[in-house]
Chains A and B, each alone.
Chain A
Amino acid sequence: MFADYTSSELTAIFAMQGFAGLILFSVFVLMALGLAIIFGQMGVINMAHGEFMILGAYITYLTSQLFSAYLPSLFDGYFFIAMLLAFVVTGALGALVEWAMIRHLYKRPLDTLLATWGLSLILQQLYRTVFGAREVGVSLPDWLMGSYAITDIIEVPINGIFVMVLTIFITIGVYLLMQKSRLGKQTRAVVQNRAMAGAVGINTEKVDRYTFALGCGIAGVAGSAFTMVGSTGPTAGQLYIVDTFLVVVFGGASSLLGTVASAFTISQAQSTMEFFLSGSMAKVLTLLTVVGILMLRPQGLFSLKVRR
């Protein structure tokens, strides 16, 4: 297996594959964070998560069109504004969806699965009507598309670093929000005991709405970031949904730390195996391992110790 390569090449392999794994890890965390918040904190299985991501991607596309038409001089920086817009718009849509649909289904968690799946189909068809069935090409500022050469073999893609930095910021942000802020404390209180939280004066409906909107907003940012590495089309969200659920369920539904740990495990396993086996086999083995571990530990890697 290693015989074909020289020792310097081997070092390079491990460096590059380690880095490829880290990029995949960041992508997974970014995808899963929004879902983990909604699924973990509210128990809602949001099948339309991928479509919220693609909404973020479409908003990035629209912003890039606007900037290249009206403000070409500021094009280099449009991406930050696009991400902010993506967060606000998908968050707002999330709040709307929660108000119109999800809040009526809290007592029937399995029905949310069906309802949000329906929502995902509606959104897909909506994108198809508005933006056309074909994929759209999001033009990116040049500084995001290059790579940084460390040695002549090891090259680090800049958009990969960008996704990593973004992921770190958002993860820390979400962690602080959940642990330190008033909303975070209220959310955790509602998760632990809804009736009691209501009794001490927490507006549980408002908390639910904000939580759902936050989860969707993060999905929007993720979608915006993924225009750098993936495609933007009406059904592109479906490409992410399986991996996203895999990460969240494997990590343990109600633990953000679990999500991060599971994203790390899955991404490193997958990128290492992708290198030594073929792409499809790597995927099969990853899924098999996850299934095996979940059979032994159905609650996932991490679980909250709550008395039920």
Chain B
Amino acid sequence: MQKLNKSGLSNVLRRNILKGMMALPAAMLVSQLSLAAAMSTADVNTTGLAVTDDTVKVGILHSITGTMAISETGSVQAEMLAIEQINAMGGVLGRQIEYVQEDGASDWPTFAEKSKKLLVKDKAAAVFGCWTSASRKAVLPVFEQYNGMLYYPTFYEGLEQSPNVIYTGQEATQQIIAGIDWVTKTKDAKSFFLLGSDYIWPRTSNKIARKHIDKLGLKVVGEEYYPLGHTSFNSVINKIKLKKPDVIYAIVVGGSNVAFYKQLKAAGIDMTKEKPLVLTISVTEDEILGIGGENMQGAYAAMKYFQSLTNTNNQEFVAAFKKRWGDDIVIGDVTQAAYLGPWLWKAAVEKAGSFDIDKVRAASPNLELTTAPEGYVKVHENHHLWSKTRIGHALPNGQYEVVYETEDLIEPNPFPKGYQ
């Protein structure tokens, strides 16, 4: 017994020495790569965040239970992947990222409570999280009061700009105007039927869409909203058939999506014939999983990211994502935007040379990211991202084929004049 112990001890010793010897060149390499590793914790953290000599703590705050878990799961996976990749490259300012994950449970007061816990108790240097606008609005006062930094991934209605939030998804005008321009130019669309779930994002988005359609001198022949979770769309489909619009502009969300597209198909509207053509801004590859590729085939979607993008950044990202989370997983627009969060934060911290929220905020505008799966992105003064908008054409296998992308990055404009 004693003998065993002894040899065990010497083994451990030998291993440690070996490890130390192996780590030596690695440590030299790291310190050469980033001078920042030499920076002392007192220098990079003057406000008492959870930063030690080798670690920094961040928060992940999404719903992993409740209704919204359907949508938010992808974002959690993307943020974890990004954090793991950053850690494998040596972390941020030489510090490994540790994340504290909290569950917002699809309940907005819970989001507020958990964000307070992440900021006050865990002293998280950044929080990646929220999905719905309602959850973001719930945590906003907390982030502003305790001066935290939130990276918010979802495309949303705009009309907001907080010093404590970086919006990595598109705001409404980026998504909408390019989509409508494309459909009028290439598909010669003259009349539109606007349809949405009944809450702030679809209503604001359709308002912007209507203004833009009016501006182009075209016609809106109908505008309809249904409560969230509505499951029978036969009446509105009948209305669409009578009004014969060129384009159905659909912003239906959640479970209602499945009902809407299945019933549209069952009612004899074949989207592949494009009479009428369906253009949506709310159905990503994630949603198609539930709808079924064969029921979505032929529809068009306007967003900034599709899994099928062929640039090398994206190919690497998709491969890494599948390796980490399984081969049959799909990646939607928001998942990609969530992946940008930790990278943008890393870039801001390194530019600032500090984890302090105020310095990270000051470093964020004009920050560039060349490794984003969607391609090059840049942070605007208003905390949103410059990004391209692409049009995807739904294939029966549940993927989108990219048929168009805007030439230039579109400037984010959360408070569009003339659209309110």
Contact = CB atoms under 8 A, between A and B. Distances in A.
Given A16-B238, A279-B230, A280-B226, A229 B262 contact: yes
B8 interface: no
B242 A5 contact: yes
B69 to A, nearest CB: 4
A123 to B, nearest CB: 13
Contact of A135 (B258, B293, B294): B258
B231 interface: yes
B242 A9 contact: yes
A39 to B, nearest CB: 21
Interface in A171-208: none
B161 interface: no
Contacts of B65: 125, 128
Given A137-B290, A153-B241, A158-B266, A239 B229 contact: yes
A242 to B, nearest CB: 9
Given A135-B289, A149-B268, A279-B226, A235 B231 contact: no
B2 interface: no
B259 A230 contact: yes
Given A9-B242, A135-B258, A160-B266, A271 B235 contact: yes
Contacts of A149: 268
Given A16-B238, A134-B286, A283-B227, A235 B292 contact: no
Interface stretch (A138-146, A213-221, A248-256, A296-304): A138-146
A239 B234 contact: no
Interface in B224-261: 224-227, 229-232, 234-236, 238-239, 241-242, 254-259
A230 B290 contact: no
A244 to B, nearest CB: 12
A157 B235 contact: no
Interface string B106-127: 0000000000000000000000
Q: Residue among B235, B239, B263, B293 with the most chain A CB within 10 A?
A: B235
B266 A159 contact: yes
Contact of B235 (A139, A238, A275): A275
Contacts of B286: 134
Judged by DSSP, the binding face of B is: helix
B226 A137 contact: no
A280 B267 contact: no
A133 B69 contact: yes
B48 interface: no
A226 B263 CA distance: 11
A149 B268 CA distance: 8
B238 A20 contact: yes
B299 to A, nearest CB: 15
A141 to B, nearest CB: 11
Nearest to A135: B290
A145 B270 CA distance: 11
B102 interface: no
Contacts of B87: none
A23 B69 contact: no
Interface residues of B, number: 45
Given A125-B65, A147-B266, A230 B73 contact: no
B265 interface: yes
Interface string B189-213: 0000000001000000000000000
A257 interface: no
Contact of A128 (B69, B258, B268): B69
Given A230-B255, A279-B224, A134 B266 contact: no
Nearest to A274: B235
Contacts of A41: none
Contacts of B263: 157, 229
Contact of A231 (B69, B225, B257, B288): B257
B231 A17 contact: no
A5 B238 CA distance: 13
A240 B235 contact: no
Contacts of A236: 255
A226 to B, nearest CB: 8
A13 B234 CA distance: 12
A13 B238 contact: yes
Contacts of B262: 145, 159, 228-230
A279 B266 contact: no
A229 B259 contact: yes
Q: Residue among A137, A146, A160 with the most chain B CB within 10 A?
A: A137
A89 interface: no
B66 interface: yes
A240 to B, nearest CB: 7
A135 B73 CA distance: 12
Given A24-B232, A283-B227, A134 B64 contact: no
B67 interface: yes
Contacts of A73: none
B69 A24 contact: no
B290 A278 contact: no
A293 interface: no
A20 B266 contact: no
A249 to B, nearest CB: 19
A155 B290 contact: no
A136 interface: yes
A149 B288 CA distance: 27
Given A137-B290, A238-B229, A271 B234 contact: yes
B70 interface: yes
Top 8 closest pairs, chain A to chain B, by CB: A135-B290, A231-B258, A147-B268, A20-B234, A274-B235, A133-B69, A157-B266, A279-B226
Given A24-B232, A135-B255, A146-B266, 11 more contacts: A133-B70, A153-B242, A228-B266, A229-B231, A230-B259, A231-B254, A234-B70, A239-B229, A275-B238, A275-B239, A280-B226
14 contacts: A17-B238, A20-B232, A133-B64, A139-B294, A146-B266, A153-B242, A229-B259, A229-B266, A230-B255, A231-B254, A231-B259, A238-B229, A280-B198, A280-B225
